[in-house]
């Protein structure tokens, strides 16, 4: 019998499959479905600062007095937080697996003031979903990185539960960013955030949404950076995007990931697909004679390779020898 237990941010999970923040985890009943079908942990649907701000803006229509505006802002923010802390408490009552709260905010003060209430509600950890997309040519890489670091520092000083940070891949030096986040207090880093996908309707000459779903091919990017980072950083790495089968999770673990985030595949195949993925992982481990996940985690990382330079020049080598 193989042992699929893993540690993530100091928390024990029965397996490495973590259901990502999405509408799949926006209620206690859905979180219970995740557990019933074999999830190792769940990340609750994100609490968005902009969502609360939209409620505030709607409520302030017609309000002119400064004190009235401040009062409305406080009431609406409190209502949004109350809904989310209720979700955390209800989810914790419904399941025994770890429940990770997710926050998506864009101002330092907001994080500092409101994240502690999520920890107090019983969340096992906090995921900072920092989906900052610089759009102004005046924004420098240093300024963007500084925002991430200061945000993590602010949150980690205000709570005593583990923090993981979900980042995008639009950085010049991803290893430096990951290291800076760990020094700032984060325990884990999720690679990578899936930003809003843009498409163009050429018939109606309009912008439209691209597919929100990942494909198995999207796993290549997380794999590249996890293989490069494993063993060189204190960060516990989570692979996100492109994990559709149990064998995809195997790849992420071989690269060095602690856990594998799943989302799009559950939209396509239902919650029950979690059991299929778990079975595929167990069958692969048995076939390869691995009794536990730590026995093979990072086996194919750059750190454990006898030819580490191939990880840095893999695309060029393949082009030269004619492989796709």
For residue 240, what is the DSSP state? -
Examine residue 1 and state whether it is found in any structural domain, yes or no: no
Q: Which residues pair with 19 in a beta bridge?
A: 42, 262
Query: Nearest CA to 188 among 144, 242, 152?
Result: 152
Give 63's pLDDT tier (boundaries 50, 70, 90).
very low
Looking at per-residue pLDDT, the higher value among 309 and 277 belongs to 277
Give 316's pLDDT tier (boundaries 50, 70, 90).
low
Q: Is the pLDDT of residue 285 over 60?
A: yes
Question: What pLDDT does 6 receive?
Answer: 98
Structural domain tally of the chain? Answer: 1
For 150, the domain range is 6-321
User: To 10 degrees, the CA torsion angle through 241, 246, 250, 256?
Assistant: 40
Determine the distance from the C-alpha atom of residue 316 to the mean position of all C-alpha atoms in its chain, rounded to a whole number.
30
Examine residue 87 and state whether it is found in any structural domain, yes or no: yes
CA distance 148 to 143: 9
CA distance 119 to 101: 8
Q: What is the pLDDT of residues 73-110, one digit of tens each?
A: 333 344 578 889 999 999 999 999 999 999 986 666 66
For residue 289, what is the DSSP state? T
Give 113's pLDDT tier (boundaries 50, 70, 90).
confident
Q: What is the pLDDT of residues 115-174, one digit of tens each?
A: 899 999 999 999 998 877 677 788 888 888 998 999 999 999 999 999 999 999 988 899
Give 65's pLDDT tier (boundaries 50, 70, 90).
very low
Q: Is the pLDDT of residue 36 over 70?
A: yes
Give 24's pLDDT tier (boundaries 50, 70, 90).
very high
CATH assignment at residue 166: 3.20.20.70
């Amino acid at each position: 019998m193989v042992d699929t237990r893993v540690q993530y941010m100091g928390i024990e999970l029965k397996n490495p499959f973590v259901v990502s923040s999405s509408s799949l985890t926006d209620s206690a009943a859905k979180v219970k479905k995740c557990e019933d079908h074999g999830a190792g942990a769940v990340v609750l649907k994100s609490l968005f600062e902009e969502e609360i701000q939209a409620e505030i803006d709607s409520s302030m229509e017609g309000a002119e007095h400064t004190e009235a505006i401040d009062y409305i802002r406080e009431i609406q923010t409190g209502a949004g937080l109350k809904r989310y802390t209720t979700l955390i408490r209800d989810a914790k009552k419904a399941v025994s697996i770890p429940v990770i709260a997710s926050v998506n905010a864009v101002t330092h003060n907001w994080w500092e003031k409101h994240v502690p209430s999520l920890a107090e509600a019983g969340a096992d950890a906090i995921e900072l979903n920092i989906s900052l997309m610089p759009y102004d040519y005046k924004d420098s890489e240093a300024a963007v990185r500084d925002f991430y670091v200061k945000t993590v520092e602010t949150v980690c000083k205000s709570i005593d539960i583990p923090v993981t940070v979900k980042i995008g891949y639009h950085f010049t030096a991803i290893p430096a960013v990951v290291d800076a986040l760990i020094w700032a207090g984060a325990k884990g880093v999720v690679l990578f955030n899936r930003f809003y996908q843009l498409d163009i309707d050429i018939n109606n000459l309009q912008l439209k949404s691209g597919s929100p779903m990942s494909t198995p091919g999207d796993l290549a990017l997380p794999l590249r950076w996890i293989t490069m980072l494993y063993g060189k950083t204190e960060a516990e790495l989570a692979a996100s995007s492109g994990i559709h089968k149990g064998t995809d999770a195997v790849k992420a673990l071989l690269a060095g990931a602690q856990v594998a985030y799943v989302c799009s595949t559950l939209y396509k195949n239902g919650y029950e697909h979690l059991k299929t993925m778990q079975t595929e992982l167990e069958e692969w481990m048995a076939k390869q004679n691995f009794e536990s996940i730590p026995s093979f985690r990072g086996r194919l990382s750059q750190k454990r390779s006898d030819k580490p330079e191939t990880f840095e020049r893999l695309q060029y080598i393949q082009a030269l020898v004619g492989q796709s």
